[in-house]
Amino acid sequence: MSKYGNIFESEMFLKIISLLIAFIVWAVISGQKTPKIIEKNFTAPIYFENTSDNMILTRDVLYEITVQLRGPEQIIKKIKPEDVYITIDLKNKKFGLHSIPLTEELVHKPQGVSVINIIPNTIQFKIEKKITRIIPIKPNIVGELPDNLEVKKIILSPPVVRVEGPQSILEKIKFFPTEVIDVSNKLKTFETTSVVILNSNFLKLLTNPNVRVKIVIGEKDKIRLFKNIPVTLANTGKHKIWVNPRKIMVQVKGPKSSVDKIKRKKIKVFIDCKNLAPREKDYILTPQIDYSEQNGEEVKNIVKFKTIPSLVNVRVFK
């Protein structure tokens, strides 16, 4: 046997080889980097599952929260915004106020990371009954017209809107206003388009928000009172008829320029007795008014006549 064969078979040589192998294994293992662990905050949306058509969430519901995740850097850096979210099951939840703790079990996230914090860790919301109502629209008119003019009429198209929302809110609403409509220094009737204002994030408009508004502008009204106008009887036939009161007051209301032209002597107040039969009990009747001018019917379309009192007693004797 050669001297080299003795060297390779010696105990010392085997020990050196073992140490060399051990060193190589250690070098390989120590050369592998330990994964770096990092933390990062993510904005996570909240999705509510199993909602029904007749429910709505109120009380300033949070739809986004902050989730802090911890894990290997290479995983954390690859997480997309849509990878982290929270789901809350509303199945079998009753109407009323609810407080839900936000736990790691509710967080949807990639594997290999953990949740170390949720801000806030609890959310509150109220489940209410959702209803639909037809609500009138009220125009929000501002500004001043010239002294001799006023708004006579406002015509809305459409006059109402259809709205969906919590029963507790909709039951208290009498109308929805429009955006501001300024009538300052307007001299005649005009039309404009405005928008309905809901004033609540929990309400949903189911119809067009635009409304056509016609503002009818005309001369200011004036009221004149004509006292002691006789009440005359027409178509009395052969019967004796008594009326009380025998004189009455007539109110005339309309544009100042037209009211000022009304002549007292042209105002006629009368009771038509044609179909009145004699009886012991008084008739309670509304006097009729005529204006005996050539353009009397035209005048009555412009100004309004009214008797004060509005009813009189009439007795028909045999």
Q: Which of 308, 165, 294 is nearest to 223 (CA)?
A: 308
Q: Is residue 27 part of a domain?
A: no
pLDDT value at position 237? 86
Q: Is residue 270 part of a domain?
A: yes
Same domain assignment for residues 296 and 232: yes
Q: Which of 193, 195, 178, 186 is nearest to 151 (CA)?
A: 186
Q: Which of 272, 220, 199 is nearest to 241 (CA)?
A: 272
Same domain assignment for residues 48 and 119: yes
How many domains are there within the chain? 3
Computed over every residue of the chain, the mean pLDDT equals 89
* Domain termination residue (choose one: 71, 104, 129): 129
The residue segments making up the domain with residue 208 are 130-219
Q: Is residue 73 part of a domain?
A: yes
Token pair belonging to 284: 């309670």
Same domain assignment for residues 121 and 144: no
Q: Is residue 264 part of a domain?
A: yes
Same domain assignment for residues 176 and 263: no
Rounded-to-integer distance, Cα 280 and Cα 186, Å: 59
Rounded-to-integer distance, Cα 158 and Cα 137, Å: 8
Q: In terms of DSSP bridges, do strands 204-205 and 160-166 run parallel, antiparallel, or are they unpaired? A: antiparallel
Same domain assignment for residues 141 and 89: no
Same domain assignment for residues 43 and 124: yes
Same domain assignment for residues 51 and 62: yes
Q: What is the pLDDT of residues 218-266, one digit of tens each?
A: 999 999 999 999 999 999 988 899 999 999 999 999 999 899 999 999 9
Same domain assignment for residues 234 and 211: no
Q: Is residue 32 part of a domain?
A: no
What CATH number did the domain enclosing 83 receive?
A: 2.170.120.30
Q: What is the pLDDT of residues 183-229, one digit of tens each?
A: 998 999 999 999 999 988 889 999 999 999 999 999 999 999 999 99
Same domain assignment for residues 192 and 227: no
* Domain termination residue (choose one: 191, 219, 247): 219
Q: Is residue 4 part of a domain?
A: no
Rounded-to-integer distance, Cα 76 and Cα 78, Å: 5
Q: What are phi and psi of 34, to 5 degrees?
A: -75, 130
Same domain assignment for residues 114 and 149: no
* Region for residue 214 given its phi and psi (left: phi exceeds 0; alpha: psi -120 to 50; beta: otherwise): beta
Q: Is residue 239 part of a domain?
A: yes
Percentage with pLDDT > 90 across the chain: 61
Same domain assignment for residues 212 and 163: yes
- Are 139 and 102 within 8 A, CB to CB? no
Same domain assignment for residues 58 and 123: yes
Q: What is the pLDDT of residues 150-165, one digit of tens each?
A: 999 999 999 999 999 9
Q: Is residue 72 part of a domain?
A: yes
What CATH number did the domain enclosing 139 receive?
A: 2.170.120.40
